[in-house]
Amino acid sequence: MDFESLVCWLKESDEEKLASLWKVADEVRREYVGDAIHLRGLIEISNHCFKNCYYCGIRRGNKRLLRYRMTVDEIMETAKIGESLGYGTVVLQSGEDPDFPYEEIARIIEKIKS
């Protein structure tokens, strides 16, 4: 779909045309994704961040935020709890925390996967 077509669809208000679009979109979703539901757990491992992106709640300049950084043991325990609850995967999320180097995060991921 090109840009102009996309803009036309975003402006569309005809219920029949929109129903047709939803039908096609659902067929594409079924073909490429299917009907399965996959549970993923989100583990927020740190809310420290050296960046100051104004839109972000964990930006460096937010002085009202109580900062935390999970330990490796806390992360592992949380991942185990997620597994016991049926989560097939976990996502580790953090601000850009210089005290949580990428190498350490890679080791944690390896431990979770083992």
Mark whether 44 and 96 lie in a shared domain: yes
Mark whether 49 and 22 lie in a shared domain: no
Q: What is the pLDDT of residues 34-82, one digit of tens each?
A: 998 888 999 999 999 999 999 999 999 999 999 999 999 999 999 999 9
Q: What is the pLDDT of residue 78?
A: 98
Mark whether 11 and 51 lie in a shared domain: no
Q: What is the pLDDT of residues 11-41, one digit of tens each?
A: 999 999 999 999 999 999 999 999 988 889 9
CA–CA separation, 85 and 90 (whole Å): 12
Mark whether 27 and 46 lie in a shared domain: no
Query: What DSSP string runs through 31-69?
Result: HHT-S----EEEEEEE---S---TT-TT-TT-TTS---B
* Domain region containing 8: 3-32
Mark whether 28 and 44 lie in a shared domain: no
Mark whether 52 and 82 lie in a shared domain: yes
Domain count of the chain?
2
